[in-house]
Amino acid sequence: MPDDAVVAGIDVGTTKVCTIIGRPQTDGRLEILGVGLTPSAGLKRGVIVDREEAIASIRASVEVACRQGDVELSSAWVGVTGAHISSVNVTGRTNVAPGPAISAQDVQRAVQSARDAVPLPQDRQIIHEVVRGFTIDGESGITRPLGMSGRRLDVELHAVTGTASIVENIERCVEDAGIAVARRVLEPIATGTAVITDAERDLGVILIDVGGGTSDVAVFLDGSIAHTSAIPVGGNHCTRDLARLLRVSFEEAEKLKCRYARATPEGVGPEESVQVELADGSASELVPLQLVAEILEPRLEEIFTLVRSNIARSGVYEQASAGVVLSGGGSQLPGTPGLASAVLDDLPVRVGSPRGISGHADAATPVHATGVGLALLAAEEGASATQPKPEGGGLLTRLRGWFERILPRA
């Protein structure tokens, strides 16, 4: 990539839109130039429910990141998630064409054979795919078959499918906000790129990204993705529980959760309390923080229990010897790692923050992990997506060019 090339990722979530703009460095790190973290609107559990509000949220996030980075964004890698997501591991096979070695065409035929094996109802499409490995004449564990000799080439493919209309609506909203979708990426794969180490991938690790409307799940084994899914329960469900039981607004409950709450009552003193404003605005009330934790704990237990059941059904739960990595806004509640470990059979649990970045310190939090991962993946592909702002200001320059085109020359 050119030295001045920059990359971008956009995480369109239920509670926030995160745009990350970065410049790849020669040492493989990503210098973060701009971070646009703005409240999200128009989405519910990863699905567009109000198109105009969603477009406005995306545009606001992009504008903040571009202003910080002093760049004009033309395209970006965009994350996709939601309860409609499912995955399957399939295999494909081709007979190698006569010749001295396996060619790119042979690999393409094997991968297409695997794609053809993915069960796809009419309303679903493949939204992301990852090659897990190749086998040549029965010898497995091959990562790069090009140039090797063999007669039969097999490939194992991890294919992620989703509801076509949901994915298309997200892409159109991004494009209508003025940004071309260069590539769509399953969000847990992007998050894993930012927070999981190579050693954890090899040993086997579970990623749980607790978002607002959904909790994304991914399992990595032998250095590659083995399972992906999304649980339709997230941090917003915790907030709603607080709002209903304490009789406060959603906004007041969210503030209470983020500023004062813990995941479990352990470690909360009986005298600790906080003043909250009731929903009708008529009065405020002193709420014990132990009660807040007692409300949150069952919902968080439900999230991790659903995750455990989901992974167990895939047959890979027992192989995650490296433990669990938590990410997303819901992972930052104090006490969450311990609660997750208790539900997940005492597996070691840590909170993952983005790695391999420099520049903006704001981007090094679990909330930014998916956006950072999208930008890191774009950098790996050499996908430059922005240009420096024209001298004199982008808008002024565009207006000058417009007038020059429509007015006759003297």
Which is nearest to 323 in space by CA: 300, 345, 301? 345
Q: What is the mean pLDDT of residues 385-389?
A: 52
| Of the candidate ranges 54-58, 202-206, 313-317, the one whose mean pLDDT is the lowest | 313-317
Q: What is the mean pLDDT of residues 13-26?
A: 92
- pLDDT classification of 28: cutoffs 50, 70, 90: confident
Collect all residues with Cβ–Cβ distance below 8 Å to 190 and sequence separation of at least 6. 9, 11, 77, 79, 370, 373, 374, 376, 377
Report pTM: 0.85
Residue 47 has pLDDT above 90, yes or no: no
Which is nearest to 30 in space by CA: 374, 325, 386, 387? 374
Using one digit for the tens of pLDDT, what is the confidence trace for 265-307? 998 998 999 999 999 887 889 999 999 999 999 999 999 999 9
Mean of per-residue pLDDT scores for the chain: 89
Pairing of strands 180-186, 386-388: unpaired
| Of the candidate ranges 120-129, 173-182, 256-265, the one whose mean pLDDT is the lowest | 120-129
For residue 83, the model assigns a pLDDT of: 83
d(CA 312, CA 64) in angstroms, rounded, equals: 41
Count other C-beta atoms under 10 Å from residue 280's C-beta.
9
For residue 386, the model assigns a pLDDT of: 55
Which residue reads 């704001």 in tokens? Answer: 362
Query: pLDDT over 70 for what percent of the chain?
Result: 92
Pairing of strands 7-12, 75-80: parallel
d(CA 52, CA 389) in angstroms, rounded, equals: 27
Using one digit for the tens of pLDDT, what is the confidence trace for 80-132? 988 888 899 999 999 998 878 999 999 999 999 999 999 998 889 998 889 99
Q: Do residues 389 and 72 lie in contact, with contact meaning Cβ atoms separated by under 8 Å? A: yes
Residue 400 has pLDDT above 80, yes or no: no
Using alpha carbons, list the distances in angstroms from residue 105 to 15, 98, 102, 154, 312.
Answer: 43, 12, 8, 13, 37
d(CA 376, CA 30) in angstroms, rounded, equals: 7
- pLDDT classification of 9: cutoffs 50, 70, 90: very high
Helix (H), strand (E) at residue 286: strand 284-288
Instruction: Kindly give the interhelix angle for 289-314 and 336-343, rounded to the nearest 10 degrees.
Output: 40
- The strand ranges marked E within 62-214 are 71-73, 75-80, 86-95, 124-136, 139-142, 152-163, 180-186, 205-210
Q: Do residues 62 and 167 lie in contact, with contact meaning Cβ atoms separated by under 8 Å? A: no
Q: Do residues 157 and 91 lie in contact, with contact meaning Cβ atoms separated by under 8 Å? A: yes
Q: Supply φ then ψ for residue 383, to 5 degrees.
A: -95, 80
For residue 153, the model assigns a pLDDT of: 96
DSSP SS3 for 407: coil
Instruction: Spell out the domains of the chain, with CATH numbers in brackets.
Output: 86-162 (3.30.1490.110), 235-296 (3.90.640.10)
For residue 3, the model assigns a pLDDT of: 57
Q: Do residues 302 and 263 lie in contact, with contact meaning Cβ atoms separated by under 8 Å? A: no
Phi-psi region of 392 (alpha: psi -120 to 50; beta: other; left: phi over 0): left
For residue 385, the model assigns a pLDDT of: 62
Using alpha carbons, list the distances in angstroms from residue 277 to 94, 226, 297, 328.
Answer: 66, 46, 22, 27
Residue 42 has pLDDT above 50, yes or no: yes
